[in-house]
Amino acid sequence: MKALLALEDGRTFTCQSFTGPGEAHGEVVFNTSMTGYQEILTDPSYRGQMVTMTYPLIGNYGVNEDDIESDRIQVAAFIVREYQQYPSNFRSVSTLADYLQKQGILGVQELDTRALTRHIRKAGAMRGIISTQDLDPSSLSQKARQIPSMAGQDLVKSVTTTRPYFWQNGKPVFADLDKATLNSKVWNFKAKKYSVAVFDFGVKYNILRCLEKVGCEVLVLPALTSAKTVRDLDPDGIFLSNGPGDPQPVTYAVETIKSLLGYRPIFGICLGNQLLGLAIGGETYKLKFGHRGANQPVKNLLTGRIEITSQNHGFAVDTKSMEDKGVEVTHINLNDDTFEGFRHHGYDAFSVQYHPEASPGPHDAGYLFEDFVKKMKKR
């Protein structure tokens, strides 16, 4: 089925839908991972974005019930060079096309993804729209310009959990918890495991798996949870998750984090890093085309080691804005020298911009979860 992708600057790309008729819009971005498309599809950090895979052959190993990072597909649309309709993998339970169709997500192929990626790298990530119904370039480009910009949008509210849940044995367990019952008595293993309150700004399941793996009892909280509620829970540590979009509109989270600085050890990832930076007094800005892929080189300034990391973000903390804030920059991106992590000794808080839990990606930075446990143990 013929389809057309139109960008806000007027550039268009012909393609074909492999999921049937439809129309989708969002910010067009690219991911350089060679595998892991199911994890990418279900990563809440991609909310509101149409993801282009630079690796040309997608769908060859199908989809399964284990490689998911949230309860649903999060991307607005999926763009590939060549879709493989006959998967071959012992774990596969469905084709990629069926998986997308069941959740109403548009998937297109036969698009020149190399040209699209080069265009985004030069012009920057921008709004776009894909349609099988409207194939007029000027009409579709006009529609793309009417899409709300990613900057200034609070997308956290669209992905955060609506009610608290425990993460137990690799899956969410919803309990009958409300403001009245969220207190220090909710923990089931207080004396045996480190209790961690996780702010869900769009948390990936593998983060929760990693926390459980290092011996934590994990309670996931809605993004709007107050600092008072967290204090009532009396956790051993506080975790700030990844999430989609611009951190600046998420003012309620910034204010909550400010109130909790110094209360308990804090560990942040991705959007959590940006929100922690804002809470300490720093600033954030939108990257030209972001960092998305499983092969981003990061230098650990504390050890001098180079870590190959998994990343997915379009905004970053401004390095200069963190000067004189009592923080130590711990990680930098070797592709563009952007801010990748810091720690604040006075507040016993640290965070990184990349994803140490990977999924997909390398595990070079998995030690950070153990560092978090060490901080809780020391306290």
Domain shared by 256 and 338, yes or no:
yes
Domain shared by 321 and 240, yes or no:
yes
Alpha helices in 225-332 (DSSP H): 227-233, 251-260, 271-280
Percent of residues, the chain, with pLDDT higher than 90: 97
Domain shared by 168 and 228, yes or no:
yes
**What value, to the nearest 5°, has the Cα angle with vertex 281 and ends 278 and 287?**
45
In total, how many domains does the chain have? 2
- Choose one of 93, 122, 145: the last residue of a domain: 145
Domain shared by 124 and 216, yes or no:
no
pLDDT single digits (tens) 75-121: 999 999 999 999 999 999 999 999 999 999 999 999 999 999 999 99
Phi then psi dihedrals of residue 24, to 5 deg? -145, 150
Give the residue numbers marked as catalytic: 270, 355, 357
CATH number, position 135: 3.50.30.20
- Coil vs helix vs strand at 278: helix
- Choose one of 113, 145, 177: the last residue of a domain: 145
Is residue 151 situated within a structural domain?
Answer: no
* Confidence tier at 15 by pLDDT (50, 70, 90): very high
Domain shared by 34 and 177, yes or no:
no
Query: Distance between the two ends of the chain, CA-based, in angstroms?
Result: 60
Is residue 307 situated within a structural domain?
Answer: yes
Is residue 150 situated within a structural domain?
Answer: no
Taking Cα atoms as reference points, which of 316, 342, 314, 319 lies closest to residue 330? Answer: 342
Domain shared by 320 and 177, yes or no:
yes
With the CA atoms of 230, 231, 232 and 234 taken in that order, what torsion angle do they form, in degrees rounded to the nearest 10?
Answer: 90
Is residue 33 situated within a structural domain?
Answer: yes
- Choose one of 117, 145, 173: the last residue of a domain: 145
Domain shared by 99 and 194, yes or no:
no
Tokens for 151, please give them.
Answer: 């900057």
Domain shared by 105 and 169, yes or no:
no
Residue 23 exposed, middle or buried by CB count within 10 Å (0-12, 13-18, 19+): middle
Domain shared by 56 and 110, yes or no:
yes
Domain shared by 198 and 135, yes or no:
no
CATH number, position 362: 3.40.50.880
- Domain span including residue 81: 2-145
Tokens for 11, please give them.
Answer: 């550039």
Say what the pLDDT of residue 231 is: 97
Taking Cα atoms as reference points, which of 196, 184, 252 lies closest to residue 224? Answer: 252
pLDDT single digits (tens) 112-157: 999 999 999 999 999 999 999 999 999 999 999 999 999 999 999 9
Query: How many distinct helices (H) and strands (E) make up the chain?
Result: 9, 20
Is residue 304 situated within a structural domain?
Answer: yes
Domain shared by 97 and 162, yes or no:
no
pLDDT single digits (tens) 19-38: 999 999 999 999 999 999 99
pLDDT single digits (tens) 266-318: 999 999 999 999 999 999 999 999 999 999 999 999 999 999 999 999 999 99
Is residue 324 situated within a structural domain?
Answer: yes
Domain shared by 283 and 205, yes or no:
yes
